[in-house]
Amino acid sequence: MTAHDPRQPADPIPAPDMLERAAEASAFMKALAHEGRMMILCHLSSGEKTVSQLEELLGQRQAAVSQQLARLRAEGLVSCRREGKARLYSVADPRAAEVVALMYRLFCAS
């Protein structure tokens, strides 16, 4: 009996399914492949934040932060909830949280 390589799928998937998954993965990575969006996800990985908090953390104007949040929401990567007059944003997709954690380990941890 040979050991299974954890980097390989346990069972091969049919080519059409693999193509569909590759397209999904590509779209996911495109959403993350923006410095501003990655920074937003990094900050949200420590907990919910308002647009104002993100503006301050990122040193960017409200319009720029809101534009990137809108893209992240459209992709299903972040969610928003109201608390009084404030809107609180958080990471909604566990895959995004995992990728951000990996990027942090690879590029930020010393």
Question: What is the model's pTM?
Answer: 0.82
Q: Which amino acid is at 23?
A: A
CA distance 47 to 101: 13
54-76 as b/e: b if 16+ CB within 10 A: bbeebebeeeebeebbebbeebe
Whether 58 contacts 89, CB under 8 Å: no
Q: Which helix (H) or strand (E) holds 100?
A: helix 94-107
- Cα within 13 Å of Cα(5), Cβ side: 4
Residue ranges and CATH numbers for the domains of the chain are 29-108 (1.10.10.10)
pLDDT tens, the chain, 110 aa long = 455 566 665 677 888 888 899 999 999 999 999 999 999 999 999 999 999 999 999 999 999 999 999 999 999 999 999 999 999 999 999 999 999 999 999 998 86
Q: What is the pLDDT of residue 69?
A: 97
Complete DSSP assignment for 65-86: HHHHHHHHHHTTSEEEEEETTE
Q: Tell me the C-alpha distance between 9 and 14, whole Å.
A: 12
